[in-house]
């Protein structure tokens, strides 16, 4: 886009075309679309969750609202519309304000724990290779989902020497360098789900004498886009509410949650969890789908501790990318 073209769009604002329109009255559709992008970026919560849940869908893919800004800018210049150009530039400024900080380079911060979170996929053909990828990140805790009876022994063999303490409940598991003093199922099953469905666990990890952390591993139900119901998150939202209740009941012990939550931190359906826990703001460390990641639905979140940064690892045999989070515990020295 040449600078002269942009200047021409602004300087021609007083000229009228054959239909009597000026630069401020041309390009109304373009200006409207740019204004819509700006409003969605600033106030996605205003989009309703009823009638197909469009609000929840937008929240999960909010960074991608930056994609239409460039073609809208080109259209505004082509139409020589000062009004449309102003609206598009406003949308660009808002997008940069909201997501720009996530794109800035950061120096590694001090941390006390490293956690790897990975939905390994129940169709993974090489669990041993997947485990080696996770071990290469040198984590202290490894949280896995979609463990199958057939693949579980391979993960146990690969992780045993580095992570002698582990617990598996249903299809989720936790491997730890530190002793586990308590382990239990965390019941997050929606009422309508039947059969053998166990996708939550809680463990107490003793990282030092008299220093415990409550660690949750969870795999919330998948969401679907269905004809007639739109972005269907009912089971996932019900499961998130149950998980939120469990976390609310924790005492002063720091809490770490690692899981495939099938939603981003901005998704309103996860509010029972995200209202209590925090994570790093690396918005563009997308984890799903592995072939072309568009959202980070795999999360590591904390309370009583700080997630210093989050990054993804190279692909494994899963449709998710592994997520690595470095955590700073409250009261710990640098």
Residue 172 has pLDDT above 70, yes or no: yes
Q: Where are the domains of the chain?
A: 3-103, 113-329
What pLDDT sits at residue 5? 61
Residue 180 has pLDDT above 50, yes or no: yes
What pLDDT sits at residue 43? 97
Residue 9 has pLDDT above 90, yes or no: no
Contact 237, 220 (CB under 8 A): no
CA distance 91 to 98: 11
Superfamily of domain 113-329: Endonuclease/exonuclease/phosphatase (3.60.10.10)
Mean pLDDT of 151-155: 98
Mean pLDDT of 34-55: 94
Please tell me the least confidently modeled range out of 4-8, 129-133, 235-239, 259-263: 4-8
Residue 7 pLDDT class (50, 70, 90 cuts): low
Residue 95 has pLDDT above 80, yes or no: yes
Of 225 and 262, the structure prediction assigns the larger pLDDT to: 262
Mean pLDDT of 260-276: 97
Cβ atoms within 10 Å, residue 150: 9
For the segment 183-225, what is each residue's pLDDT rounded down to a tens digit?
999 999 999 998 889 999 999 999 999 899 999 999 999 998 8
The distance of Cα 150 from the centroid of its chain, to the nearest Å, equals 29
What pLDDT sits at residue 251? 83
Residue among 135, 174, 181, 183 nearest 152 (CA): 174
Residue 334 has pLDDT above 50, yes or no: no
Query: Residues with Cβ < 8 Å from 109, sequence gap 6 or more?
Result: 308, 309, 326, 328
What pLDDT sits at residue 104? 86
What pLDDT sits at residue 195? 87
What pLDDT sits at residue 13? 47
- Give the length of the chain: 334
Residue 161 has pLDDT above 90, yes or no: yes
Contact 58, 264 (CB under 8 A): no
Residue 165 pLDDT class (50, 70, 90 cuts): very high
């Amino acid at each position: 886009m040449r600078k002269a073209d942009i200047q021409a769009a602004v300087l021609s604002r007083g000229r009228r075309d054959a239909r009597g329109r000026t630069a401020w009255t041309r390009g109304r559709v373009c200006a409207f679309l740019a204004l819509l992008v700006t409003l969605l970026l600033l106030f996605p919560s205003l989009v309703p969750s009823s009638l197909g849940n469009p609000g929840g869908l937008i929240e999960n893919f909010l960074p991608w609202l930056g994609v239409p800004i460039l073609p809208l800018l080109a259209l505004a210049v082509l139409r020589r519309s000062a009004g449309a150009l102003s609206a598009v530039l406003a949308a660009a400024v808002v997008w940069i304000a909201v997501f720009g900080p996530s794109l800035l380079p950061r120096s590694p911060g001090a941390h006390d724990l490293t956690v790897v979170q990975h939905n390994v996929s129940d169709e993974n053909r090489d669990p041993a290779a997947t485990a080696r990828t996770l071990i290469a990140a040198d984590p202290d805790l490894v949280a896995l989902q979609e463990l199958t009876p057939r693949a579980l022994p391979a993960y146990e063999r690969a992780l045993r020497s580095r992570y002698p303490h582990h617990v598996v409940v249903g299809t989720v598991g936790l491997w730890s360098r530190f002793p586990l003093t308590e382990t239990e199922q965390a019941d997050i099953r929606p009422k309508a789900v039947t059969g053998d469905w166990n996708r939550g666990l809680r463990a107490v990890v003793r990282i030092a004498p008299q220093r415990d952390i409550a660690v949750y591993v969870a795999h919330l139900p998948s969401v679907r886009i269905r004809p007639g119901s739109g972005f269907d998150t009912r089971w996932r939202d019900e499961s998130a509410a149950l998980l939120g209740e469990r976390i609310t009941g924790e005492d002063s012990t720091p809490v770490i949650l690692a899981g495939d939550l099938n939603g981003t931190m901005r998704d309103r359906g996860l509010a029972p969890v995200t209202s209590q826990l925090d994570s790093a703001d690396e918005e563009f460390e997308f984890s799903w789908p592995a072939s072309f990641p568009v959202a980070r639905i795999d999360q590591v979140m904390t309370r009583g501790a700080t997630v210093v940064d989050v990054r993804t690892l190279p692909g494994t045999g899963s449709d998710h990318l592994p997520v690595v989070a470095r955590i700073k515990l409250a009261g710990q020295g640098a």
